[in-house]
Amino acid sequence: MARTFVWTTTEQREKVWAYFPLAPTELTRDTLSGGQASGYTVVPGYLRARLAIHAVRRGFGYGGQVLVDALSRATRAAERGSRRT
């Protein structure tokens, strides 16, 4: 199940400036190159299905900031998940 993260401003909470969904996923060994699977048959990961920036905000570097936010959230989620063993 995906979770969608939405960027807004404090002045205009009702206006969406950017969004991206993240969903847990698994990659099978046959879809990875030799060393990436490290002996595992299934490797967990996160899928960023889409990343959208409002047309007014394009060209100002927001896409990179939103991508960093997505990667940071996926990293934190993976770290939390690895502590549940």
Q: What is the pLDDT along the chain (85 residues), one digit of tens a residue?
A: 889 999 998 888 889 999 999 999 988 877 777 676 677 778 888 899 899 999 999 999 999 999 999 999 999 988 887 554 4
CB burial of residue 66 (10 Å; 0-12, 13-18, 19+): buried
For each of the domains in the chain, give its residue range(s) and CATH number, in order of start.
3-82 (3.40.630.30)
pTM for this one? 0.77
Indicate the residue type of 9.
T
Residue 72 burial (C-beta neighbours within 10 Å; 0-12, 13-18, 19+): exposed
Which DSSP symbol is given to 60? T
